[in-house]
Structure 1
Amino acid sequence: MSLKRIYSVIGMAVAGIVLTVSLFTSWYTLGESDQAVILTFGKAEDTVTEPGLHFKLPWPIQNVEKLARETMSLEFGYKEENGKKEKFSDETKMITGDENIVYADLVVQWKITDPKKYLFHSENPKEVLYDATSASLRSTIGSSKIDDALTSGKAEIEGSVRELLTSLMDKYDIGISILAVKLKDVELPNKEVRSAFTAVTDARETMNTKMNEAKKYENQRLNEAEGERAAIMHKAEGEKAARLETARGDVAVFNKLYEQYKSSPEVTRERLTIETLEQVLPGAEIYIMNDDGSTMKYFPIRPLEKEQQPKKSDESKGDE
């Protein structure tokens, strides 16, 4: 075989290889949860997020780096696989602000929002995120009391960890955004301490229950007292109005009597005297006599009237 023919075969083989490489490296596909960065001679160019078939320059001119677009989870202090949870005590051991030891682990929901920065601003962005999570959690637990960490303060701790972790991610600028932080377990170091703390927690809950019951009873009694006060006030207002009306009526009667008195003083005075005697002595018989100072004239009208009444009744029976 001649040298020229050998060169021709080699050239054809190289051309075939180049053509094959170009054919298989000039396109790529993206799924619904993927995003890609196009690298031209190692330099980041475009970010592609639209799913489907895409074309590019063949290798080695352009390469594609695919990254997840969906939300991812970072498990700090534990690892869960196939329903089994493995804890890492050394990582989760922390000291609270009141100098108590607790074990705390959490999960961080995060997302790649800038693929270029994620690829080139850090050699291992997941490790940076893990270390920043550890620092944020330890800082927050270190400024919190053990009661808050174990009971009602978990939500506030989660918010503080998320705020601090977000600020660190913005500072490191590695293309990661923090979506949520959730504390999984916050525990005391041994059974004796947990038992003592449980007893204290139960006592505190009992105290709160009693205080709520006392407050409820206080509100009930206050409402009853308020109702009684309102009833007394309404009754007093009613009596006040009644007495005012009675007083107005007495004034009107007095004014009317006064007008009569001005026109006939003697007659009015005698009538008032008789009416007063009838009110003071309702069962007494009253006689009016004219005494001129010498002889008292008395005519017993009442006894005569009583004698006449039986006679009239007898006559009515005889007629029958």
Structure 2
Amino acid sequence: MGSLRKIYIITGAFFAALLLGLVAFTTWYTVDESDQAVILTFGEVDETITEPGLHFKMPWPVQTIEKLPKETFSLQFGYEQKDGEIKEYPEDTKMITGDENIVLADLVVQWKITDPSKYLFNSDEPEEILYNTTSSALRSIIGSSKIDDALTSGKAEIEADVRELLSTLIDKYDIGISVLAVKLQDVELPNKEVRKAFTNVTSARETMNTKINEAKKYENKRMNEAKGEKDALISNANGEKAARTERARGDVAVFDKLYQEYKKNPDITKERLIIETIEQVLPSSQIYIMNDEGNTMKYFPIRSLEKEQPKPKEEGAGQ
């Protein structure tokens, strides 16, 4: 009887120690800065923990912990890169554009878990849902785009449209993840001949844009030069206008003075004006002052006297 009691005591002590150990080791947990946790009470979501540090809970099996990373994940659509090697899946990337051309398009989707409880329990394979939704969104946008846009200048717009549609679908599926970014990796044609033709088209378009930019640059240069020439002409015209105005004012002043003299002695002024006009019209002619008295015409030889007058000696000459 005593040995049986001793067995009960040892067994009870063992289970008590086991229970105490279970309580001691399952009532606390830590959450790293890069993690987030979900507390499950009898398998049902009770609370989401995002703050890092030491936390406490009820012992197992009452409450359990599921930890998920906060990091940003990359979904590679159409290819897989491992250990520096790239494996392509052309059956996933082949799609038809809006103008009925075939292209191969692959991309990368940046995403993260924003609601751990929904990520764990709203779907069995949330990443597979994301992959299939990405395929659907990309095919939908490529299917409404022209091949020229998909291969050249329309990639940024396609990326934005894919991200918007993908985010809308993921929110509708409510699987606890958010799409952060979408980046097209390659959009190309399925064979080399067509690819080369489009490469030539792209090169020609770039050459065209270069020529247009050069033409605009030359146009701006010539416009600036023309503007400078216009300003110079306007400035010269204004200067000529001012000069002519001043000359006209001077002529008016001279005319006013002549008119005043004319009023005082009209005959003398008239003769003076006639003589000055003759000098201007016939600059090489000689002028004689004549006095006609009867039959004999006499004149005063002004030019001859001017020629006979000795020229003044220059200073220092003959010394």
> Into which bin does the TM-score normalised by the smaller protein fall?
0.7 to 0.9
Show the 5 A alignment for 1:63-82.
Answer: 63-82=64-83
Residues 1:305 and 2:305 are matched in the alignment: yes
Cα distance between partner residues in 2 of 1:304 and 1:102? 108
**Counterpart residue type for residue 170 of structure 1:** D
Residues 23 and 266 from structure 1, CA distance in 2 versus in 1: closer, same or farther, beyond 3 angstroms? same
Check conservation: 2:94, 2:104, Cα contact below 8 A: yes
Q: After the TM superposition, which residues 101-250 of structure 1 pair with which residues of structure 2 at under 5 Å, given as runs?
A: 101-250=102-251
Aligned to 2:315: none
In structure 1, C-alpha distance between the alignment counterparts of 2:276 and 2:300, rounded to whole Å: 21
Q: Decide which moves more: 157-166 or 45-54.
A: 45-54
CA separation of 1:154 and 1:309: change in aligned 2, threshold 3 A:
closer
User: What is the alpha-carbon distance in structure 2 between the residues aligned to residue 118 and residue 208 of structure 1?
Assistant: 48
- Please give the alpha-carbon distance, in whole angstroms, between the structure 1 residues aligned to 2:135 and 2:235: 68
Which letter maps to 1:270?
A: E
CA contact (8 A) 2:288 2:302 kept: no
Q: Secondary structure at the match of 1:63?
A: strand
Return the alpha-carbon distance in structure 2 between the equivalents of residues 167 and 254 of structure 1.
Answer: 92
> Could you list the per-position Cα deviations for residues 294-317 of structure 1 after superposition, in whole angstroms to 9, with x for gaps in the alignment?
34541444477369647x99xxxx
Report the CA distance between 1:195 and its aligned residue: 1.9
Contact 1:39/1:63, CA 8 A, preserved across alignment:
yes
Aligned-CA RMSD value: 2.7
Asked if the contact 1:290–1:296 (Cα under 8 Å) also holds between the matched residues in 2, the reply is no
Q: Which letter maps to 1:149?
A: A
In structure 1, the residue matched to 2:100 is 99
Secondary structure in 2 matching 1:289: strand
How many angstroms apart in 1 are the aligned matches of 2:211 and 2:239?
42
In the alignment, does 2:15 pair up with 1:14?
A: yes
Farther off after superposition, 127-136 or 266-275: 266-275
- Counterpart CA distance in 1 for 2:299 and 2:265 is 28
Once the two structures are superposed, residues 165-195 of structure 1 have per-residue CA deviations (whole angstroms, 9 ceiling, x without a partner) of 1112222222222111111111211222212
Q: In 1, distance between residues paired with 2:77 and 2:168?
A: 18
Q: Which residue identity is paired with 1:285? A: Q
CA contact (8 A) 1:116 1:175 kept: yes
Question: In 2, are the aligned partners of 1:27 and 1:55 still within 8 Å (CA)?
Answer: yes
Q: Displacement, 1:9?
A: 4.3
Cα displacement (A) at 1:285: 3.1
- CA distance in 2 between partners of 1:114 and 1:155 (Å): 29
How far has the Cα of 1:137 moved from its partner?
A: 1.0
Cα distance in 1 between the residues matched to 2:212 and 2:297: 89
Whether the 8 Å contact between 2:286 and 2:303 is mirrored in structure 1 is: no
**Counterpart contact for 1:71–1:111, Cα < 8 Å:** yes
In 2, the alpha carbon distance for the partners of 1:304 and 1:242 equals 41
| Change in CA separation of 1:99 and 1:258 when aligned onto 2, cut-off 3 Å | same
| Equivalent residue, structure 2, for 1:251 | 252
Compute the displacement of 1:68 (Å). Answer: 0.7
What SS class does the counterpart of residue 70 from structure 1 fall into?
coil
Equivalent position of 1:316 in the other structure: none
Q: Secondary structure of the equivalent of 2:290?
A: coil
Determine the structure 1 residue equivalent to 2:45.
44
Paired residue for 2:27?
A: 26
Report deviation, 1:223: 4.0
CA distances 1:267-304 after superposition (whole Å, capped 9, x unpaired): 32222222223333334332223446x34541444477
The one-letter code matched in structure 1 to 2:256 is N
CA distance, structure 2, for counterparts of residue 126 and residue 167 of structure 1: 16
Match of 2:272 in 1: 271
Q: Name the CA distance, whole Å, in 2 between partners of 1:123 and 1:252.
A: 108
Contact kept, 8 Å, 2:113 with 2:176, in 1: the verdict is yes
Q: Which amino acid aligns with 1:203?
A: A
Report the Cα distance in structure 2 between the residues aligned to 1:307 and 1:270, rounded to whole angstroms: 25
Counterpart-to-counterpart distance in 1, 2:309 and 2:263: 42
Distance 1:306 1:210 in 2: 76
TM-score (norm 2): 0.86
Q: Is residue 55 of structure 1 aligned with residue 56 of structure 2?
A: yes
For residues 66 and 307 of structure 2, the distance between their equivalents in structure 1, rounded to whole angstroms, comes to: 139
